Amino acid sequence: MATAKQTPEFTLQIRRTFAAPREKVFAAWAQREQLERWMCKDVSSHSIIHHQQDIRTGGRYMIEIRDPVQNGVYWGQGVYLEVKPPEKIVFTWRWTNATPNGAQLHPESPETQVTVEFFVRGDSTEVVLTHATFGSAKDRDEHNQGWNGCFDVLATVLAASRMQ
């Protein structure tokens, strides 16, 4: 069994400031109906089903993503290691193909860890996402693209909710 290299270049960190209060941004991560509006929606054809969303320390999540363009089904799942509203969420991250127990989508990075921190910045919230540790630069770069795409959608969702 290969071991992922524990090097900084295989860790991803993204900082993004959203024009919304911290409690509202945290809720976008914690409440299933809000999460479904932006998580994994970086590809507009994706259909997202949250089969499980138990956001508490020790709770689990399981997401099914259907991609009709690629004719694929992907499963994301993991465990919440730490949940501290509205400051921090830490969870494991694992992707499989076709079924929850299917082949790893990222065999070099079978399970990684995501830490999301929420900081008050006046009327806005800075989110610092640290995704560690990938087994390759390719996996890190693909996740960088995916997370940034998701954050773009999150910004749109938060802006639309401000207008209501």
Which residue ranges form the domains of the chain, and what is each CATH number? 8-163 (3.30.530.20)
pTM beyond 0.85: the answer is yes
Burial of 109 (0-12, 13-18, 19+ CB in 10 A): buried
Percentage of the chain beyond pLDDT 90 is 76
Contacts of residue 32, defined as CB under 8 A and 6 or more positions apart, other chains included, come to 50, 53
User: In this predicted model, what pLDDT tens digit does every residue of 98-139 receive, in sequence order?
Assistant: 888 888 988 999 999 999 999 999 999 999 999 999 999 999
**The Cα angle at residue 76 between residues 73 and 77, in degrees rounded to 5:** 140
Note the pLDDT tens digit of each residue in 11-22: 999 999 999 999
Question: What is the model's pLDDT at position 70?
Answer: 85
